[in-house]
């Protein structure tokens, strides 16, 4: 039962990641490979602002930790990646097409290097352990089953918020920019401003997912937020399909259950990791050839 609850929690986290990436990649048409970077910044913001409790081992090694009460770590986890996206978006969004992909790839490498190398702030490759569990109304959420209702609620709320965004004039203006940026700008849609908004919002939602991940696993290290993770999130979106509401969840369901299905096949651990990666690679290449809009998607890459 715990196992199933755990899977559903992971689906909740990745659904938020996929839907938030859908905003910039599916609706805006810009392939973004630094989503894991923002996800990681959110996770670290949450972890640092909660790990400063008395008797915390990690806190002694770090320059800044805090023990903020409930809503504040979440606010920081949203604000930090959003601010960062605002600053970096002004640079990366000057590019379109392949150059945007490469600029975000560079950003991903830089964010990972910062998490990995700034040992006084992030504890480097050792990561942050002993993150306290979430406490709501005096109940500590420690097991996957306890986390399930809470995480389910956050995921559904985020989904509803993003759905509103997708259907708002803002979402439609992104579609217009994706389809024909010249025509869109001729009716008064400013490409840079709309894309910057989409970039900031998608980073903010990635921050929520990051906080959920940190509070749930209670240990984070930079390797959870590297380039591979960004590619994984992008694969989810491209496999399920982007540019509409049903695509991302199909992708999340498949990509989260795939490793579990492979585990039941009984591949030895040494092979399993590589075999999984090969399947991701084949998926990406085959998708682009046979169905660039993904399984249930609308936007063709």
Partner 1 sequence: MELALQLIANGIVTGSLYALLSTAFGLVYRTTNIFHIAYGGQFVLSCYFYYTLAAKAEIPLIAAATASIGLSALLGWTIHSFFYRHLFKRECSSGAILVASLGLLIIIENLVALTFGNETKIIPRDPSKLIELGPINVSAIQATQAIICSTTLALLFISLRHSRLMKTILAIGDNPALFQSLKHSLNKHQALVFVISGSLIAIPAILITHDTGTNPHTGMHYLLLAAVGTLLGGKDKAFSWALGGFAIAIAHSLIIWQFSSEWSETGTFSILLIILLFRPSGIFGTRNRVEEI
Q: Is 292 in the site for partner 1 (CB under 8 A)?
A: yes
Q: What is the DSSP letter of 131?
A: P
Query: What are the helix (H) ranges across the chain?
Result: 2-21, 35-50, 71-92, 98-117, 119-122, 144-167, 169-179, 181-186, 191-217, 227-240, 247-265, 269-290
Instruction: By CB under 8 A, tell whether 97 contacts partner 1.
Output: yes
* Interaction between residue 278 and partner 1 (CB under 8 A): yes
Answer yes or no whether residue 110 interacts with partner 1 by CB under 8 A: yes
Q: Which stretch binds partner 1 (CB under 8 A): 2-10, 71-79, 112-120, 156-164?
A: 112-120
Query: Closest separation between CB of residue 136 and partner 1, Å?
Result: 39
d(CA 276, CA 235): 13
CA 271, distance to chain mean position in Å, is 27
Q: Which among 48-56, 61-69, 95-103, 158-166 is the span making contact with partner 1, rule CB under 8 A?
A: 95-103
Of 219, 57, 72, residue with least CA distance to 133: 219
Structure tokens at 90: 């002004």
# residues contacting partner 1 (CB under 8 A): 45
What are all long-range contacts of 84-88, with beta carbons under 8 Å and residues at least 24 apart? 84/38, 84/41, 84/111, 84/203, 85/38, 85/199, 85/200, 85/202, 85/203, 85/204, 86/196, 86/200
Q: How far is the CB of 100 from partner 1 (least distance, A)?
A: 9
For position 238 contacting partner 1 by CB under 8 A, the verdict is: yes
Distance CA 101, CA 95 (A): 9
Told to check if 277 binds partner 1 by CB under 8 A, we report: yes
Residue 109 found at the interface with partner 1 (CB under 8 A): yes
Build a one-symbol-per-residue string for 167-186: x at contacts with partner 1 by CB under 8 A, - elsewhere: --------------xx----
Between helices 191-217 and 71-92, what is the axis angle to 10°? 140
Does the footprint of partner 1 cover residue 125 (CB under 8 A)? Answer: no
Part of the chain binding partner 1 (CB under 8 A), chosen from 8-16, 77-85, 168-176, 279-287:
279-287
Residue 289 engages partner 1 in binding (rule: CB under 8 A): yes
User: CB of residue 293 vs partner 1: minimum separation in angstroms?
Assistant: 10
> At how many degrees (to 10) do helices 98-117 and 35-50 cross?
30
Q: Are 122 and 222 in contact (CB under 8 A)?
A: yes
Please state, in angstroms and rounded to a whole number, the distance separating the CA atoms of residues 93 and 84: 13
The residue among 101 and 215 lying less far from partner 1, judged by its C-beta, is 101
The distance of closest approach from Cβ of residue 108 to partner 1 in the complex, given in angstroms and rounded to an integer, is: 9
Residue 274 near partner 1 by CB under 8 A: yes
Residue 99 in the binding site for partner 1 (CB under 8 A): yes
Residue 174 CB, nearest approach to partner 1 (Å): 16
- 6 lies in the binding site for partner 1 (CB under 8 A): no
The radius of gyration computed from the CA coordinates of the chain, to the nearest angstrom, equals 19
Place of tokens 């770590």: 73
Q: Where do contacts with partner 1 occur on this chain (CB under 8 A)?
A: 31, 91-92, 94-99, 101-103, 105-107, 109-110, 113-114, 116-117, 181-182, 227, 231, 234, 238, 271, 274-275, 277-278, 280-289, 292, 300-301
């Amino acid at each position: 039962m715990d196992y199933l609850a755990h899977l559903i929690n992971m689906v909740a986290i990745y659904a938020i990641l996929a839907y938030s990436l859908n905003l910039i990649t599916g609706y805006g048409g810009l392939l973004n490979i630094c989503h894991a970077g923002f996800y990681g910044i959110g996770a670290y913001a949450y972890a640092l602002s909660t790990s400063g409790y008395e008797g915390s081992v990690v806190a002694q090694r770090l320059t800044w930790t805090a023990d903020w009460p409930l809503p504040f770590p979440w606010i920081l986890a949203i604000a930090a990646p959003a601010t960062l996206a605002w600053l970096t978006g002004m640079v990366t969004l000057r590019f379109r097409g392949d150059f945007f992909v490469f600029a975000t790839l560079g950003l991903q490498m830089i964010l990972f290097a910062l998490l990995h190398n700034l040992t006084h702030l992030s504890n480097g490759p050792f990561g942050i352990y002993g993150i306290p569990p979430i406490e709501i109304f005096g109940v500590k959420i420690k097991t996957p089953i306890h986390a399930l209702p809470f995480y389910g609620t956050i995921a559904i709320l985020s989904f509803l918020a993003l759905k509103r965004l997708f259907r708002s004039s803002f979402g439609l203006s992104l579609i217009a920019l994706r389809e024909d940026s010249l025509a869109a700008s001729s009716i008064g849609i400013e490409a840079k401003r709309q894309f910057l908004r989409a970039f900031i919002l998608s980073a903010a939602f990635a921050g929520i997912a990051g906080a959920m991940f940190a509070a749930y696993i209670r240990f984070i290290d930079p390797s959870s937020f590297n380039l591979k993770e960004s590619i994984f999130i992008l694969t989810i979106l491209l496999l399920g399909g982007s540019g509409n509401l049903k695509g991302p969840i199909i992708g999340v369901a498949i990509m989260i259950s795939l490793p579990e299905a492979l585990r039941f096949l009984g591949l030895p651990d040494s092979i399993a990791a590589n075999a999984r990666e090969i399947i991701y690679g084949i998926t990406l290449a085959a998708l682009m050839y046979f169905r660039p809009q993904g399984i249930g998607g609308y936007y063709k890459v």
